[in-house]
Amino acid sequence: MPALTAAYFAATRRVSFQTLHRIIQARRRDNTHPPGRIPRFRRHTEWLDTAGTPRYTGGANCFLTSPVTMHDAAHQLDALCIYCGSRPGEDPEFLAAARQLGRRLASDGIDLVYGGAKKGMMGAAADAALDAGGDVIGILPGGLASREKAHTELTELHVVDSMHQRKAMMERLSDGFIALPGGLGTLEELCEVTTWAQLGIHRKPVGLCNVNNYFGGFLAFLDHAVDCRFLPPEHRDLLIVDDNPDQLIERMSQFEPFLDKTWLDESQI
């Protein structure tokens, strides 16, 4: 495994996000694929160079550039994106919930998609899923690889150029989203992906794992926004809230979208 250094990132040829998006959209329009998710090719993968030309490469399980992957557009939970802190937090229940969630996803055969770090809540969820035999896909901007200590033992590690690419790829590879305790980054990701649901950009469940009422103040703010008529009640109800990871996944698996108005599509985010 090559070292995750700035020189390596500079030398690595990546798929541009725009090219990846075009390929995914083209495959979604192609009816020659069987129903369900197009499988990931882990050891031998079709890659695209910077000109968008396919090239064939062998390699290890842990990718350091972006292979072409996609999920079926159905609401089946084949992969869930986890937002959480790169720090462990003070309450040991936070780490326990992250590990419980990782084990549950592995047990259910659901891929864990997350920010690619080895530290804190992020690393705890990823390691628990891997130890239980699950697949974990990390997506990390090159500039954060050393600061957040990139997890090099994942099923797949995608190194991208920016935070915007990271978040957009996490959304496209996932069939739903769960936020665990974390800081400003976690809160920003949760609010953004919920806003995308509000705008009709996606029709996927958004869960909030409210461990020991960590998000109590945030939920009170949302209720206040409803009372002040800045937030419609149906948009407040987009968040599926539970304090138990197992129960949260059960509720998300029964999710059916109820907002039928589309303000923007994926090409406009």
CA distance 159 to 139: 6
Nearest to 195 by CA among 259, 139, 253, 114: 259
For 224, other C-beta atoms within 10 Å of its C-beta total: 11
**Domains, the chain:** 6-256 (3.40.50.450)
Report the pLDDT value the prediction gives residue 263, as an integer from 0 to 100: 55
Report the pLDDT value the prediction gives residue 148, as an integer from 0 to 100: 64
Q: What is the tens place of the pLDDT at every residue in 34-47?
A: 333 333 433 223 33
Tell me what the pLDDT averaged over the chain comes to: 77
Q: Do residues 121 and 146 lie in contact, with contact meaning Cβ atoms separated by under 8 Å?
A: no
Mean pLDDT for the stretch of residues 97-108: 97
Mean pLDDT for the stretch of residues 116-125: 95
Report the pLDDT value the prediction gives residue 6, as an integer from 0 to 100: 35
CA end-to-end span of the chain, whole Å?
A: 34
Q: What is the tens place of the pLDDT at every residue in 233-266?
A: 999 999 999 999 999 999 999 998 765 555 555 5
Mean pLDDT for the stretch of residues 122-134: 97
Q: What is the tens place of the pLDDT at every residue in 225-240?
A: 999 999 999 999 999 9
Q: What is the tens place of the pLDDT at every residue in 39-94?
A: 343 322 333 333 333 332 333 333 333 333 333 343 589 999 999 999 999 999 99
CA distance 252 to 11: 41
Q: What is the tens place of the pLDDT at every residue in 134-176?
A: 999 999 988 777 676 889 999 999 999 999 999 999 999 999 9
DSSP letter string, 91-102 = SHHHHHHHHHHH
Q: What is the tens place of the pLDDT at every residue in 187-237?
A: 999 999 999 999 988 999 999 999 999 999 999 999 999 999 999 999 999
CA distance 259 to 76: 18
Report the pLDDT value the prediction gives residue 142, as an integer from 0 to 100: 84
